[in-house]
Amino acid sequence: MNCKPNKEQLTRRLAEIVGDDAVLADKRELVVYECDAYTLQRNPPTAVVLPRSTQEVAAVVRLCAELDVPIIPRGAGTSLSGAVLAVDGGVMIALTRMNRVLKIDPRNRRALVEAGCVNAWITRDASAHGLFYAPDPSSQTACTIGGNIATNSGGPHTLKNGVTTNHVLGYEMVLPDGTIEWLGVEPDGGEEVAGFDLRGAAIGSEGMFGVVTTVLVRLMKTPPAFKTFLCVFESVDDASQAVSGIIAAGIVPAALEMMDQLITQALEEAYHFGFPLDAGALLIVELDGLAKGVEQQAKQVDEICNRNNAREVRLAAAAAERAALWKCRKRAFGAIGRLSPNYVTQDGVVPRSKLPVIMRFIRTVSDKYELRIPNVFHAGDGNIHPLILYDEREPSQVKRALQAGHDILDKCIELGGSVTGEHGIGAEKIDFMAKQFSKDDLDAMQQLRRVFDPDKRCNPHKMFPGAKRCAEFAQKKQIPA
């Protein structure tokens, strides 16, 4: 692989395709693109292109194939696993100018959008028809549908409705050799397609199979009734038992989210919702569906929470209160700035019944490494998000933050879980792949990757053991040995 293309020649040829105003190659402009929301590793790409059409994307990709230059697809750069790192330079193809909602089709409950379309814009446009797009990552006001496909994003409300793969019917993708393919259901096609489900195979491939350009998504009918509860507990253990109790009762809430004391205090300081500052843990439980069923489930949830020592079960009385509660939850990571200059989010999964175990373990890790670790997470899925706080100006804190994250992920594997629920492996968690998967599993994944990208030129150095690290190239000082 040619890691050091002639930059001048490359940018000139890129500009011939997309125009001068759609190529960034100046050192200062590239700073924005040197990392995603995982800021522990950084390296700038050689150039960034901002295409406006699938044809432009395909021409850029063909040029990179000709010059043997790596390509890195990018949406909004909100990945929390370093999935968009230009580890070895290369051309970053940012889809942010291809951001239109092309068509809302209420009759067939579908929307056709460009891959750079921001997640929340689909529901914004579909809501006039009583429809919504279900997967709602907390980053949904920024992240793009292309990024959601590449990471198979979840969100607070995917417990009941399923994650991205359950709502993407089909999409257009530019393969690493520049050919344009449509995978899955076509825009005017029926709901079923013949043959292998290559649509599904490429969802979650972290930008390594090609560049998604246009997407056909499924829309759902907005439920007629909602009930949203804020349940206050003295301890994380009690809240975790309530989570298990709700699921064991056969209730599948629309959302079931937990926040511990430290994150609650940061949220209250930032957004003034009225959270009790001395509570050990809070649960947000949202029920939706037909009014009668929701009413009945609400009684059960109230009873289960009280049985597990809830101090209070508060119903959001009006739509405004429900919206305020969700605003706080979805902006939780933003409130961390009140606690610490830097944080790294982990994304582990444990069986729901092991939530008390992993939460206790996180407290011991916090003590061991003398770092604060607030928690806000998708409890209903057993998908934890410990936020490890550190100060990057203190090299020993950076080292301890990394070790703390590793301990937590090792424990998730030990408990029968996974090292990612929704954020992906990216550059961050490469070392865990060999712990979670056998060599045969990894070989099979690489074989599938080679079907799409025989040269491994598309978003290289991600996911698989043996991939090179950013630190090996440029930023050794970022990660102290």
Sites of contact with ligand FAD (CB under 6 A): 36-37, 72-80, 83-84, 95, 115, 137-139, 143-144, 146-148, 150-151, 153-155, 206-207, 211-212, 333, 422-423, 459
Considering the complex, state which of residue 5 and residue 204 has its C-beta at the smaller distance from ligand FAD.
Answer: 204
> What type of residue sits at position 55?
Q
User: What would the two tokens of residue 231 be?
Assistant: 């349940």
What's the min distance (Å) between Cβ of 299 and ligand FAD? Answer: 29
Considering the complex, state which of residue 134 and residue 211 has its C-beta at the smaller distance from ligand FAD.
Answer: 211
What are the residues whose beta carbons fall under 8 Å from the beta carbon of 103, sequence distance 6 or more?
Answer: 111, 112, 187
Is residue 48 a contact partner of residue 30, using CB atoms and an 8 Å limit? yes
Considering the complex, state which of residue 80 and residue 279 has its C-beta at the smaller distance from ligand FAD.
Answer: 80
Question: Which residue is it, tokens 């809070």?
Answer: 282
What's the min distance (Å) between Cβ of 11 and ligand FAD? Answer: 21
Angle at 420 between CA 418 and CA 425, to 5 degrees: 120
Considering the complex, state which of residue 225 and residue 467 has its C-beta at the smaller distance from ligand FAD.
Answer: 467
Is residue 422 a contact partner of residue 383, using CB atoms and an 8 Å limit? yes
Considering the complex, state which of residue 82 and residue 280 has its C-beta at the smaller distance from ligand FAD.
Answer: 82
What's the min distance (Å) between Cβ of 460 and ligand FAD? Answer: 11
What's the min distance (Å) between Cβ of 263 and ligand FAD? Answer: 13
Considering the complex, state which of residue 163 and residue 239 has its C-beta at the smaller distance from ligand FAD.
Answer: 163
Considering the complex, state which of residue 225 and residue 270 has its C-beta at the smaller distance from ligand FAD.
Answer: 270
Orientation angle between helical segments 54-67 and 7-18, nearest 10 degrees: 160
Q: Are strands 168-174 and 110-114 parallel, antiparallel or unpaired?
A: unpaired
User: What would the two tokens of residue 83 be?
Assistant: 């999935």
Buried b (16+ CB within 10 A) or exposed e, 109-125: ebbbbbbbbbbbbbbeb
CA–CA distance, 375 with 362 (Å, rounded to integer): 9
149, exposed or middle or buried, with CB in 10 Å at 0-12, 13-18, 19+? buried
Is residue 203 a contact partner of residue 165, using CB atoms and an 8 Å limit? yes
What's the min distance (Å) between Cβ of 344 and ligand FAD? Answer: 12
Considering the complex, state which of residue 280 and residue 382 has its C-beta at the smaller distance from ligand FAD.
Answer: 382
What's the min distance (Å) between Cβ of 142 and ligand FAD? Answer: 7
Partners of 231 in the β-ladder: 283, 313
What's the min distance (Å) between Cβ of 234 and ligand FAD? Answer: 27
User: What would the two tokens of residue 434 be?
Assistant: 């060999």
What's the min distance (Å) between Cβ of 70 and ligand FAD? Answer: 11
What's the min distance (Å) between Cβ of 29 and ligand FAD? Answer: 17
Considering the complex, state which of residue 71 and residue 355 has its C-beta at the smaller distance from ligand FAD.
Answer: 71
SS3 109: coil
Residue 28: CB atoms within 10 Å: 7
The region that residue 77 occupies, defined by phi over 0 for left and psi between -120 and 50 for alpha, beta otherwise, is left
